[in-house]
Structure 1
Amino acid sequence: MNILSKSTGIIKVIGRHLRSSVTMSSLAFKSLSVDVPKEFVYHVKFNRPEKRNAINHTMWLEIKDCFDKLSDDENCRAVVLSGEGMVFTAGIDLSDFLTTGAGIAKHEDIARKAKILYKIIQTYQESLSSLELCKKPVLAAVHSACIGAGVDAISAADMRYCTKDSFFQVKEVEVGLAADVGTLQRLPKILGSDSLVRELCYTGRKMDADEAFARGLVSKVYNNKEELINGVLGIAEEIASRSPVAIQTTKASLVYSRDHSVQEGLDHIKHLNQLYLQSEDLLKAATAQMTKEKPIFAKL
């Protein structure tokens, strides 16, 4: 190898390292932790264990920031979402919520209060919708409690898994609220039972892991958190090994088709695939099937 070629190789390695460092440094948050346990798989964790991962204003903002960045990160092909500490999340941080409410109450005019509340609700809705809008599949790994806003969050994920000690609770009615950041819109389509959803949302009762599995809220129940994380990371790794063009197009079509007619969904994927069927990924994947070799796909 001549000096020029060797120098070029070193520069490329340094360049890859710097790009990776920039990506990870941009994913440093106060209320979330992010790491990359497997190639192309990012692991995002709610990281307020001392507060049972209750979601405060900072976390609402950081969730959207995080998933918006991962959506466009070519090094990310799948995301696992879990919680640090004893529970997945206790839901909205009520102390933070009450502080915000006290600030709003200082305004005397109802129209001005309403304008502030509208903006807050919109911000929180956009926060959790970022999971659904993320181009990469998001796999929720739930252990122990998944309460209130936690149900909103996992409803926006692509797949859900849990431990056998988990429970799910649409708790908003118990604190005098109607859920307003996704559960009432997404949960009926996940469970497929209007009656059951209304029961959960009107009573605020807990749904345990066995019922969640039987009703289709989660795909699998694991014995403990360690098995859960290892298992879900393994599924994410398998997804990440597939063509990113195929996976991202599949997610886009599934999300679109859920809220549109069959024909509209067919038209949508037709327009997508007239472009994406021309991708080199198709030839690579087909060749790999015939040769029984692992395909290597370019970043996307």
Structure 2
Amino acid sequence: MSESKYYLVEKKGHVAWVWFNRADKKNAMNQDAWMDSPAVFKELDEDPEVRVIVVAGKGDAFCAGIDLIGMVGSMPELMENEQKGGLKWKLLKKIYPLQETMSAMEKCRKPVIAAIHGFCIGAGLDFVTACDIRLCTEDATFCLKETAIGFVADVGVLQRLPFIVGQGVTREMAYTAKTIDSRRALDVNLVNEVFEDADALFAGAQAMADGIAANPPIAVQASKDVLNHGTEASVADGLKYVASISSNIIPSHDLIEAFTAFAEKRKPVFTGN
């Protein structure tokens, strides 16, 4: 696994935990956080032993957002007084790699579960909306912060959040930049489940990941592929696409193993083939 100064990767069986590991700064996303994400998730995507990924934060928060001070050095265009065309062109080219930081989870074939405690602000919310499933603690708070500091959220949250909570809630969060608590997050489907504290959250995330990992990997990954496609295509196109995917993965050794194990009344052993 490639070394990262921001992310810490730990493997527990078929589950990989990707930790935001900058607890002293409440895991604010610095240059390393933005640049290292694609490589981390690409390697996990290519690791045949990894079937599910859990993303979580060390310390007392998931992520307090972008480290603005830490990022100024790599994006001096933000501080220029003369915001003319040539400068904007340079800035545009720097935004694309930042978008890839978030898209890395979406592009990863393995399901990604976000286990959120404490702050999940700005870039932190961007990050978790690119994950497949979100779980949180009772003390978790969420904020689409960018408008409050003069930015438009440009790395994916405005594209992904409406599919999760709908247009109305997304616009409310984007326009007001207000903070919502875990109860509101659950009510609007931003999170799937709320846990009492971090220990319960991490145990719950591991249990969910283990449950997913117990299923045939090829079927889980194909389901993610089809669901991702469905957010960008019409229902008709999505149906054509899933038919194509289904015909490509059936039959598989895991499908045969599932039937055989059921007939033999034993637990199936899936290999991903």
CA distance in structure 1 between the aligned counterparts of 2:3 and 2:71, rounded to whole angstroms: 24
CA distance in structure 1 between the aligned counterparts of 2:62 and 2:14, rounded to whole angstroms: 23
**Residue 235 of structure 2, aligned match among 262, 277, 285:** 262
| 1:296 equivalent in structure 2 | 269
CA distance in structure 2 between the aligned counterparts of 1:290 and 1:261, rounded to whole angstroms: 39
| 1:224 equivalent in structure 2 | 197
Question: Displacement, 1:103?
Answer: 5.9
CA distance in structure 2 between the aligned counterparts of 1:258 and 1:223, rounded to whole angstroms: 32
CA distance in structure 2 between the aligned counterparts of 1:101 and 1:80, rounded to whole angstroms: 30
Determine helix, strand or coil for the equivalent of 1:87: coil
CA distance in structure 1 between the aligned counterparts of 2:77 and 2:25, rounded to whole angstroms: 22
RMSD in angstroms over aligned alpha carbons?
Answer: 1.6
| 2:45 equivalent in structure 1 | 71
**Residue 100 of structure 1, aligned match among 74, 83, 104:** 74
Q: Is 1:210 equivalent to 2:183 in the alignment? A: yes
| 1:241 equivalent in structure 2 | 214
Change (3 A) 1:109 1:213: closer
When normalised by structure 1's length, the TM-score is 0.87
Determine helix, strand or coil for the equivalent of 1:288: helix
- Identical amino acids, percent of aligned pairs: 37
Pairs aligned (count): 273
| 1:17 equivalent in structure 2 | none
CA distance in structure 2 between the aligned counterparts of 1:292 and 1:128, rounded to whole angstroms: 42
CA distance in structure 1 between the aligned counterparts of 2:149 and 2:80, rounded to whole angstroms: 22
Structure with max Cα Rg? 1
- The amino acid that maps onto 1:68 is K
Q: Is 1:61 equivalent to 2:35 in the alignment? A: yes
| 1:196 equivalent in structure 2 | 169
Determine helix, strand or coil for the equivalent of 1:114: helix
Bigger shift: residues 243-252 or 255-264 = 255-264
Q: Is the 8 A contact 1:104 1:116 kept in 2?
A: no
| 2:54 equivalent in structure 1 | 80
When normalised by structure 2's length, the TM-score is 0.95
Correspondences of 1:15-94 after superposition (within 5 Å): 26-37=1-12, 39-94=13-68
Question: Displacement, 1:28?
Answer: 2.6
- The amino acid that maps onto 1:242 is N
**Could you list the runs of 4 or more consecutive aligned residues of structure 1 that deviate by over 4 angstroms after TM superposition?**
103-109
Q: Is the 8 A contact 2:16 2:52 kept in 1?
A: yes
Question: Displacement, 1:99?
Answer: 2.9
| 1:185 equivalent in structure 2 | 159
Unaligned runs of 5+ in 1: 1-25
CA distance in structure 2 between the aligned counterparts of 1:227 and 1:27, rounded to whole angstroms: 30
Question: Displacement, 1:230?
Answer: 0.7
Q: Higher helix share goes to which structure?
A: 1
**Residue 125 of structure 1, aligned match among 89, 99, 105:** 99
